[in-house]
């Protein structure tokens, strides 16, 4: 075969689009749909070729001085494009580009996108507006909600307790067989009577060996923020705007949008563009989520610091709260390979307090323990009773706190020298204020190198 060129019989491929790239890598001319793709990738006519994989093919053809024929992929405005391009280097240092195959499909959520979304939802589970503990047959055992438009749902559950949760809300599903397997309901869209918002239900199975054997934690999340009602605003009178009540809802919306857009950029660039940009977008998401968490903390802070702050004291089961908190943070613990040990199912300790506030405190304590413990360590949550005092203890194997640090740890904005980890320094302060509001206390015992034991003490009930 030496010397004899291949006897190519293929008719010259018909070009769907042609373009010319000059010697400086700038797109001198381009036909449709290439011109639109150039625009969608942020480029202009006469500017550098902005479609990353095409620009790579052109660069290679120019550097080798060879005619190349290769597949490429790109992301358009709202479609994913795959095609085949030919690049022929010219005598003038430029390059002719011919597109011989072009296939566009709408961008659907890929596996990776879905996974990112799911991870984000997992993180958000710590801040649900509605959560309930279900038994193994998905009947509601306890529930609590923190949003005013869910009050009707809470009443409905109180009036007729013990039913499957799907009877209190409308699950948007194409399947009619009831009851559905929990996996089919996890992530389902839900409509709640009295709420204009669309909710997503998440089910976290508890128990071994069969997930769900010990019941579920059900949470409702909504992407929309409850608009502040005009009535609430009127009540504010002429007092200074409060960050918690007035500004938080206003701030949440744009920050949520920033997070959502950064997430979009991140996933869009995960394909053909450089990872470094995806990394920047990831940083934006992290920063946005940090800001959001900070706003939630400050809103909480204002709540507990107002004179009229009241808790609704009730007979509550600390064991239940502890197990529920562990359930919510189980995924986060797993991510850091930390063994989270809740009180065994069936162990009870009754106390006087407000369930959701106790849950909030425990989530804060356990969340800290997970965040500041070494990987592969353990975090225990234990119940106890001494005389008239019932307690929940969260013990970790972290680096522990010195005497001086223990003095300061419950102070407002105290970070104990940590920075850059997304904390606001408000969590423990809020928790200790909440404990006091429930006529209890929050204490810490620790020694450097010995881990820390945070204990929530409430009045015991039989």
Partner 1 sequence: MTGLRASIPPDPNDHPLRAALTRGDALRARSVPALQHLLAAQHSPMISEAIVAHVGGILRDLAQQIIDSRPASDQVAGRERVIDGLLQIDALREHCQALALEWRLAVRLEAEVAVDPVLTPLLQALVADPDPGVGSLAMAALSAQARFAQAQRRMQLPLAELPAELFHTILLTVRDVLDDAREEWERAEVRLRALYDEGAGRLSLFARLASVAKSIPTPMPAIEEAGVALWLSTVAARSGEDRDRTACAMADPQLGRLLLTLRAAGVAPADAERQALRAQPDAILPRGLQDVGTREAAQWLAAAQA
**For partner 1, how many residues bind (rule: CB under 8 A)?**
30
Which of the stretches 25-33, 81-89, 329-337, 402-410 binds partner 1 when contact is defined by CB under 8 A?
81-89
Which lies closer to partner 1 via its Cβ, residue 9 or residue 174? Answer: 9
Q: Which of 31, 103, 227, 450 binds partner 1 (CB under 8 A)?
A: 103
Piece of the chain touching partner 1 by CB under 8 A; list 79-87, 191-199, 204-212, 279-287: 79-87
Q: Applying CB under 8 A, which of residues 69, 124, 152, 441 lies at the interface with partner 1?
A: 69
What is the rounded CA–CA span in Å between residue 259 and residue 251? 12
Residue 48's SS3 state is: strand
CA atoms of 156 and 199, how far apart (whole Å): 17
Determine, following the binding rule CB under 8 A, whether residue 260 of this chain makes contact with partner 1: no
Collect all residues with Cβ–Cβ distance below 8 Å to 71 and sequence separation of at least 6. Answer: 82, 83, 84, 85
Taking the least distance from each CB to partner 1, the nearer of 69 and 256 is: 69
CB of 116 to partner 1, least distance (A): 14
User: What SS3 state is found at 138?
Assistant: coil
At closest approach, how far in Å is the CB of 288 from partner 1? Answer: 28
DSSP string, 215-231: -EEEEEEESSPPPPPHH
Question: Site for partner 1 (CB under 8 A): which residue of 15, 84, 182, 350?
Answer: 84
Q: Which stretch binds partner 1 (CB under 8 A): 25-33, 96-104, 137-145, 405-413?
A: 96-104
Q: Measuring CA to CA, how many Å separate 142 from each of 56, 145, 165, 254, 303?
A: 59, 11, 11, 34, 25
Residues 6+ away with beta carbon under 8 Å from 330: 204, 340
Q: Cβ closer to partner 1: 83 or 342?
A: 83
Nearer to partner 1, 65 or 162 (CB): 65
The three-class DSSP label of residue 93 is: coil
Select from 18-26, 98-106, 117-125, 290-298 the region that touches partner 1 (CB under 8 A): 98-106
Q: What six digits make up the tokens of 72?
A: 């490429």
Using the minimum distance from each CB to partner 1, give the nearer residue, 16 or 313.
Answer: 16
User: With binding defined as CB under 8 A, does residue 276 bind partner 1?
Assistant: no
User: Alpha-carbon distance 368 to 418, whole Å?
Assistant: 12
Whether 368 contacts 427, CB under 8 Å: yes
Residue 5 binds to partner 1 (criterion: CB under 8 A): yes
Phi and psi at 449, nearest 5°, equal 85, -5
Contact between 9 and partner 1 per CB under 8 A? yes
Applying CB under 8 A, the span of 65-73, 198-206, 243-251, 285-293 interacting with partner 1 comes to 65-73
Helix axes 355-372, 318-335, angle to 10 degrees: 30
Q: Is 60 in the site for partner 1 (CB under 8 A)?
A: yes
Q: Check residue 92 for interaction with partner 1 (CB under 8 A).
A: no
Q: What gap in Å lies between CA 32 and CA 102, rounded to an integer? A: 11
- The least CB distance from residue 351 to partner 1, in Å, is 46
Determine, following the binding rule CB under 8 A, whether residue 387 of this chain makes contact with partner 1. Answer: no
Rounded CA-CA distance 214/324 in Å is 12
Q: Quick one: which of 59, 68, 228, 287 contacts partner 1 (CB under 8 A)?
A: 68
How far is it, in rounded angstroms, from Cα 405 to Cα 399?
12
Helix (H/G/I), strand (E/B), else coil: 386: strand
Q: For partner 1, which is the closer residue by CB, 66 or 175?
A: 66
Q: Smallest distance, Å, CB 295 to partner 1?
A: 36
Alpha-helix residue ranges (DSSP H) falling in 161-247: 182-185, 230-235
Q: Alpha helix (H) ranges present in 139-216?
A: 151-159, 182-185
Q: Cα 335–123–342 angle (5° rounding)?
A: 60
**86 contacts partner 1 (rule: CB under 8 A):** yes
| x/- map, 19-58, partner 1, by CB under 8 A | ----------------------------------------
Handedness of CA 34, 37, 43, 49 (dihedral sign): negative
In the complex, the smallest distance separating the C-beta of residue 200 from partner 1, rounded to whole angstroms, is: 24
| Stretch near partner 1 under the rule CB under 8 A, chosen from 59-67, 229-237, 270-278, 437-445 | 59-67
* Residues making contact with partner 1 (CB under 8 A): 1-11, 13-14, 60-61, 64-71, 82, 84, 86, 100-101, 103, 111
């Amino acid at each position: 075969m030496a010397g004899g060129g291949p006897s190519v019989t293929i008719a010259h491929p018909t070009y769907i689009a042609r373009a010319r790239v000059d010697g400086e890598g700038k797109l001198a001319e381009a036909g449709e749909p290439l011109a639109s793709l150039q625009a969608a990738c942020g480029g202009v006519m006469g500017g550098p070729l902005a479609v990353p994989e095409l620009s790579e093919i052109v660069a290679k053809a120019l550097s080798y001085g060879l005619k190349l024929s290769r597949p490429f992929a790109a992301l358009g405005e709202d479609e994913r494009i795959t095609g085949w391009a030919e690049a022929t280097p010219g005598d003038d240092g430029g390059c002719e580009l011919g597109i011989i195959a072009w296939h566009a499909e709408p961008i659907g959520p890929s596996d990776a996108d879905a996974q990112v979304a799911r991870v984000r939802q997992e993180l958000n589970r710590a801040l649900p507006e509605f959560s309930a503990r279900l038994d193994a047959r998905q009947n509601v055992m306890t529930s609590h909600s923190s949003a005013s438009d869910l009050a009707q749902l809470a009443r409905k559950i109180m009036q007729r307790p013990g039913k499957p949760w799907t009877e209190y809300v409308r699950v948007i599903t194409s399947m009619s067989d009831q009851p559905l397997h929990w996996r089919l309901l996890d992530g389902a869209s839900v409509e709640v009577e009295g709420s204009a918002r669309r909710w997503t239900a998440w089910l976290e199975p508890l128990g071994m060996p069969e997930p769900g054997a010990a019941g579920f934690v059900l949470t409702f999340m909504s992407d929309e923020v409850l608009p502040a009602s005009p009535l609430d605003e009127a009540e504010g009178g002429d007092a200074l705007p409060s960050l918690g009540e007035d500004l938080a809802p206003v701030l949440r919306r744009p920050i949520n949008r920033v997070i959502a857009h950064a997430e979009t950029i991140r996933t869009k660039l995960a394909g053909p563009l450089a990872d470094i940009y995806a990394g920047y977008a990831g940083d934006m998401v992290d920063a946005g989520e940090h800001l959001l968490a900070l706003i939630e903390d400050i809103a909480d802070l204002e709540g507990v610091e107002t004179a009229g702050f009241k808790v609704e004291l009730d007979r509550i089961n600390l064991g239940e709260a502890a197990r529920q908190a562990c359930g919510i943070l189980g995924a986060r613990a797993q991510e850091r390979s930390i063994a989270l040990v809740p009180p065994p199912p069936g162990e009870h300790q009754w106390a006087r307090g407000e369930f959701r506030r106790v849950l909030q405190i425990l989530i804060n304590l356990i969340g800290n323990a997970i965040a500041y413990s070494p990987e592969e360590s353990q975090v225990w949550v234990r119940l106890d009773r001494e005389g008239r005092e019932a307690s929940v203890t969260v013990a970790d194997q972290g680096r522990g706190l010195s005497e001086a640090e223990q003095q300061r740890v419950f102070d407002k904005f105290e970070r104990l020298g940590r920075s850059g980890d997304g904390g606001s320094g408000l969590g423990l302060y809020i928790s200790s204020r909440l404990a006091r509001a429930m006529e209890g206390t929050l204490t810490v015992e620790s020694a450097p190198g010995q881990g820390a034991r945070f204990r929530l003490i409430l009045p015991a009930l039989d």
